[in-house]
Chain A
């Protein structure tokens, strides 16, 4: 979609920097943005590669993610530099081909990832229904296994290449055989395509509890609407359009689509989600796992013995303190909070919970529900493994 914009450079329809070889305030600003963004990009990319196999399943498609993040970086770099240089200094044909080649590589993996998330959610959902419907029988052969066979990483890549080649050919065609003065038309065609896909996914997602998916689709939809409007209304030398859409949009979507999964890979609860037996095997692992601990707490509240857990956690946190002032104040807080004539040791509280509350928790309805949830996710993982999607 950017090709048309660039082709308009020749027809003077788009002139971000008036004057020859002069830098504008806007250009400097973008250069600063770029200078900050580059180390940030390198840093996150290295982190991402290092945590390649730590990606939580729902956000995980490292291949697509890395393609789109590199492409996104090239795009942002290009826009920043282009604005900084004036039009004459920046070879327009480079701009053309760069954007042409890179743009779809940035956005399309993104959409594919959303689709993928959508189907993962879909199996999740269907599994739950199946558990409810049939009398305890687990069916591993869901509709997903039979019908969505193409939905693997490798196949997604093939789809990506096919789609991008088509876009590229269309661009070439337009470049050489078709020129009019409606620069927005082509951009709108592609954007409408994106928008339609995103909206469908967004509506499909509205019932999901997957926050990542919600965030991704929402940002996408919200950012793309003003873009499409401006494309239709007319694209000119307005600084707002260049700065905002050429840089801000990729930047925001970069952070959400690439940094969010990275962030998730550091949350322990998201990583060990997929082993029922590990998480529930002892009280220590339950307390160590954010998600499991939440369920345990809920159970304890129902049994009126949550104060044990809170006390244990407070003391555990207290043990890590090093600052003497803080130790004093926290010590007082703990003493005031759990004041009790019989001084109970942390160890004995843990033992109390381990022997009395923990076995009961394992049998409780809350734990059964949680186990089912984990089992469900484990099934999904197995299907994905079978499909070589992980």
Chain B
């Protein structure tokens, strides 16, 4: 009797041991396996913003030097934005207030460097930004090239001009610096090493992407959905959303990437929500027959992209976000991580 009991106990023990070992092996695998995330997308879609979010979420934010750099960039950008808007005013044949005409003339002669950010030019920027013609020009910014965050910074000009201004995380997330080349940053996300590859999105940069296509774990493709009425920075004629779709079709079906899981991140949804009320979507996409509201349009865009990248070897996940919102992005990355875990376990035959 006693013997039998003992045997039973031992069996149980062995079974439990196996289970524990398997669990250990699992977590070991997860921790050891380096994950490589490839962030792709057209220019100005928000790829680097994702990376900045990771810096906030998984590292200790921005250093003093970083902030100093961003401060200068933001201040220089204000000069640039006002100049672009002034040129927009000229292009659209709008009339500035009489008192502002002389100021505008002087302003256009300022070079785009940090030294131009003087008390005089700050005053001029504020005055010009409050001019109705400038506001009109800003409304019609889709007709020329103006960064999406221009409005955000111009509204905060007083804070930015103050002497001991330190850019907040929100400022840094909004600040645009176009990426050149390929940057690789490593993060430790819940004990798992992630290698995140961020690339420049403009046309001339895309030929460099191929260097990082192999051994990718997951492809994150970022689409700025609010761009449906804007033209490409590179040639000023191609619609940005068309370009992004075409780009996704070619990269996602590239021989190295066609069997990789893919996350499509529809970005800048906040700006999209604003825009959809003002600009009709089927002006830019004639195929679209639905009514012009957020849900229907985004569903349409989603089907377009999923159709473009669909094949039997991969699954496509779709997320909607506003990349400058840290909470939303945290949610996205949590989802991405669970996808990756599943992926690894599946590959090793645990699931």
Give the shortest distance, in Å, between A336 (CB) and chain B (any CB): 15
- C-alpha gap A85/B220 in the complex (Å): 88
Count class of interface residues, chain B = 20 to 34
Contact partner of A356 (CB less than 8 A), chosen from B66, B180, B208, B234, is B180
Instruction: Report if B178 contacts A (CB, 8 A).
Output: yes
Q: Is the CB of B181 within 8 A of A300?
A: yes
A303-B182, A303-B183, A341-B235 known; A355 and B204 CB under 8 Å? no
Does B234 contact A341, Cβ atoms closer than 8 Å? yes
Q: A355–B73 contact, CB under 8 A?
A: yes
Q: B178 CB to closest chain A CB, in angstroms?
A: 6
Asked if A340 lies at the interface with its beta carbon under 8 angstroms from chain B, I say yes
B179 to chain A, nearest CB (A): 6
B307 in contact (CB, < 8 A): no
Contacts A341-B203, A341-B235; A352 near B180 (Cβ below 8 A): yes
Q: Is A177 located at the chain interface by the 8 A CB criterion? A: no
- Known contacts: A304-B182, A341-B235, A342-B235. The answer to whether A362 contacts B203 by CB under 8 A is no
Task: Return B318 CB to nearest CB of chain A, in Å.
Answer: 29
Provide the bound-state CA to CA distance between A359 and B179, in Å: 12
Q: Determine which of A304, A344, A347, A351 lies in contact with B181 in the assembled complex, contact meaning CB atoms within 8 Å.
A: A304
How many angstroms from the CA of A308 to the CA of B204 in the assembled complex? 11
Q: Is A353 an interface residue (CB 8 A)?
A: yes
B203 touches A305 (CB 8 A): no
Residues from chain B with Cβ under 8 Å of A304 in the complex = 181-182, 208, 211
* Interface bits B220-235 vs A (CB < 8 Å: 1, else 0): 0000000000000111
Contact between B183 and A352 (Cβ–Cβ < 8 Å)? Answer: no
A359 CA to B48 CA in the complex, in Å? Answer: 14
Chain A interface, number of residues (Cβ within 8 angstroms): 19
Q: How far is the CA of A303 from the CA of B202 in the complex (A)?
A: 15
Q: Which residue of A lies closest to B234 (CB)?
A: A342
Q: B203 and A342: CB pair below 8 A?
A: yes
How many angstroms between the C-alpha atoms of A305 and B204 in the bound complex?
Answer: 10
- Which of B177, B181, B202 has the most chain A CB atoms closer than 10 A to its own CB? B181
- Is A257 at the interface (CB under 8 A from chain B)? no
Determine the residue in chain A with the shortest Cβ distance to B72.
Answer: A355
A344 to B, closest residue via Cβ: B204
A308 and B235 within 8 A (CB): no
| A281 → chain B closest CB, angstroms | 12
Is A242's beta carbon under 8 Å from chain B?
A: no
**Do A356 and B177 have beta carbons less than 8 Å apart?**
yes
Residue from the list B65, B69, B112, B180 in contact with A305, Cβ < 8 A: B180
Contact with A along B106-129 (1 / 0, CB 8 A): 000000100000000000000000
Contacts of A359 in B (CB 8 A): 65-66, 69
B177 to A340, Cβ gap below 8 A?
no
Give complex CA distance A347, B111 in Å: 11
The answer to whether A342 and B204 touch across the interface, beta carbons within 8 angstroms, is yes
Answer whether A360 and B183 are a contact pair too, CB < 8 Å, given A341-B234, A342-B234, A355-B177.
yes
Cβ–Cβ < 8 Å partners of A357 in chain B: 180-181
User: Is B182's CB under 8 angstroms from A340's CB?
Assistant: no
What CA separation (Å) do A169 and B255 show in the bound complex?
Answer: 85
Of the A-B pairs whose beta carbons lie under 8 Å apart in the complex, a sample of 19, sorted by A's number, is A303-B181, A304-B211, A305-B182, A305-B205, A305-B208, A308-B180, A341-B235, A342-B234, A342-B235, A344-B204, A347-B112, A351-B112, A352-B180, A356-B179, A356-B180, A357-B181, A359-B66, A359-B69, A360-B183
7 smallest beta-carbon distances between A and B, as pairs: A305-B181, A303-B181, A304-B208, A305-B180, A342-B234, A355-B177, A304-B181
Question: Beyond A341-B203, A355-B73: 18 further Cβ-contacts under 8 Å?
Answer: A300-B181, A303-B180, A303-B183, A304-B181, A304-B182, A305-B182, A305-B200, A305-B208, A308-B180, A340-B204, A341-B235, A352-B180, A353-B180, A355-B69, A355-B177, A356-B181, A360-B183, A362-B65
Tell me the B residues contacting A by CB distance below 8 Å: 65-66, 69, 73, 112, 177-183, 200, 202-205, 208, 211, 233-235
Q: Which residues of A contact B (CB under 8 A)?
A: 300, 303-305, 308, 340-342, 344, 347, 351-353, 355-357, 359-360, 362
